[in-house]
Amino acid sequence: MIPFTAELAALGVVFGDIGTSPLYAFKQGLLAVGGASVTHDEVLGLLSLVTWAIILSVTIKYVLLVLRADNDGEGGILALVTLLDLHRSANGGRLWLLIAGLVGAAMLIGDGVLTPAMSVLSAIEGLEVVAPALDHWIVAVTVVVIVAVFVSQRAGTDRIGAFYGPIMLVWFLTLGGFGLYGIVQQPGVLVAVDPRYGIALIADHIWLAGAVLGATFLAITGGEALYADLGHFGRPVITRAWLFIAMPALLLNYYGQGATVLVNPAAVRNPFYDLSPDIFDVPLLFLAAAATVIASQAIITGVFSLAKQAIELGYLPPMRIRYTSEHNDQHIYVGRLNWLLMLACTAVVVSFGSSDRLASAYGIAVAMAMISTTILFVAYVKRLNRLPVIALVGLAAGLLVVDLSFAAANLTKLHDGGWLPVAIASLVLVVMVSWRRGLEGLGIQQKRFAEPLEEFIARGKPAGSATSPRTAIFLSRGGALTPVALGRLSDLLNVQFTKSVIASVWIASRPRVPVDERVRVTVLDAGHVRVDVRFGYMQQIDVPSVLGPALYSLGIDPDEAVYVIGHERIMPPEEILGIRDALAHVFAFLARNAERSVDRFGLPRPRTIEIGYPVRL
pLDDT at residue 183 above 70? yes
How confident is the model at residue 211, as a pLDDT?
86
Q: Which residues contact 126 (CB under 8 A, 6 or more apart)?
A: 270, 273, 281, 284, 285, 288
Cβ burial of 387 (10 Å; 0-12, 13-18, 19+) is middle
- Residue 319 CB-half CA count within 13 A: 22
pLDDT at residue 255 above 80? yes
DSSP string for residues in 552-580: HHTT--TTT-EEEEEEEEEE--SS--SHH
Q: How confident is the model at residue 426 (pLDDT cuts 50, 70, 90)?
A: very high
240, 241, 245, 251: CA torsion to nearest 10: -90
Where are the alpha helices (H) located in 327-415, listed in sequence order?
335-352, 355-359, 364-384, 389-411
Across 319-333, average pLDDT: 73
- Residue 469 CB-half CA count within 13 A: 1
Count of positions (residues) in the chain = 617
Q: Confirm if 405 and 209 have CB atoms less than 8 A apart.
A: no
Rounded to whole angstroms, how far apart are CA atoms 400 and 38?
A: 30
- Which amino acid appears at position 500 of this protein? S
How confident is the model at residue 240, as a pLDDT?
92
Q: Which residues contact 129 (CB under 8 A, 6 or more apart)?
A: 270, 273, 274, 281
Across 70-90, average pLDDT: 82
How confident is the model at residue 2, as a pLDDT?
45
Phi, psi values for residue 565, rounded to 5°: -125, 145
Q: Confirm if 413 and 366 have CB atoms less than 8 A apart.
A: no
Q: How far is CA 248 from CA 53, 57, 59, 161, in A?
A: 14, 15, 11, 21
How confident is the model at residue 589, as a pLDDT?
92
pLDDT, one tens digit per residue, over 137-155 is: 888 988 998 898 888 777 6
Across 521-542, average pLDDT: 87
Across 451-457, average pLDDT: 83
Across 56-84, average pLDDT: 90
Q: How many CB atoms lie within 10 A of CB 482?
A: 24
Rounded to whole angstroms, how far apart are CA atoms 17 and 557?
A: 50
pLDDT at residue 249 above 90? yes
Rounded to whole angstroms, how far apart are CA atoms 544 and 583?
A: 34
| Higher pLDDT pick, 92 / 506 | 506
How much of the chain is in helix, strand and coil states, percent to nearest 5? 70, 10, 20
DSSP string for residues in 44-83: HHHHHHHHHHIIIIIIIIIIIIGGG--BTTB-SHHHHHHH
Rounded to whole angstroms, how far apart are CA atoms 376 and 83?
A: 10
Q: Which of 12-16, 448-452, 480-484 has the lowest mean pLDDT?
A: 448-452
Across 362-391, average pLDDT: 90
How confident is the model at residue 478, as a pLDDT?
67
pLDDT, one tens digit per residue, over 194-236 is: 999 999 999 988 888 888 998 899 999 888 888 888 877 889 9
Which residue from 541, 476, 484 is spatially nearest to 513, judged by alpha carbons? 541
pLDDT at residue 473 above 60? yes
| Higher pLDDT pick, 413 / 241 | 241
The SS3 of residue 316 is coil
pLDDT at residue 157 above 70? no
Across 447-464, average pLDDT: 78
pTM of the model: 0.86
How confident is the model at residue 377, as a pLDDT?
95
Phi, psi values for residue 309, rounded to 5°: -60, -45
Q: How confident is the model at residue 163 (pLDDT cuts 50, 70, 90)?
A: low
Rounded to whole angstroms, how far apart are CA atoms 127 and 364?
A: 28
Q: Which of 150-154, 216-220, 373-377, 447-451 has the lowest mean pLDDT?
A: 447-451
How confident is the model at residue 1, as a pLDDT?
42
- Which amino acid appears at position 189 of this protein? V
Q: Which residues contact 244 (CB under 8 A, 6 or more apart)?
A: none
The SS3 of residue 520 is strand
Rounded to whole angstroms, how far apart are CA atoms 514 and 104?
A: 30
Average pLDDT, the chain: 86
Q: Confirm if 569 and 575 have CB atoms less than 8 A apart.
A: no
Q: How many CB atoms lie within 10 A of CB 310?
A: 28
Across 319-338, average pLDDT: 77
Q: How confident is the model at residue 329 (pLDDT cuts 50, 70, 90)?
A: low
pLDDT, one tens digit per residue, over 498-513 is: 888 999 888 888 888 8
- Please give the share of the chain, as a percent, with pLDDT higher than 70: 95
Q: How confident is the model at residue 527 (pLDDT cuts 50, 70, 90)?
A: confident
Enter the DSSP assignment of 315: S
The b-or-e profile of 255-281 (16+ CB within 10 A means b, else e) is bbbbbbbbeebebbebbbbbbbeeebe
Rounded to whole angstroms, how far apart are CA atoms 98 and 78?
A: 9
Q: Which of 5-14, 21-30, 190-199, 326-335 has the lowest mean pLDDT?
A: 326-335
- Most confident of the following: 278-282, 417-421, 528-532: 528-532
Across 519-524, average pLDDT: 89
Q: Which residues contact 69 (CB under 8 A, 6 or more apart)?
A: 75, 79, 80, 83, 377, 380, 381
Q: Confirm if 241 and 67 have CB atoms less than 8 A apart.
A: no
Cβ burial of 371 (10 Å; 0-12, 13-18, 19+) is buried
The b-or-e profile of 168-204 (16+ CB within 10 A means b, else e) is bbebbebbbebbebbbeebeebeebeeeebbebbbee
DSSP string for residues in 369-387: HHHHHHHHHHHHHHHHT-S
Across 430-439, average pLDDT: 91
pLDDT at residue 73 above 90? no
Rounded to whole angstroms, how far apart are CA atoms 583 and 598?
A: 26
Rounded to whole angstroms, how far apart are CA atoms 280 and 282?
A: 6
pLDDT at residue 59 above 90? yes
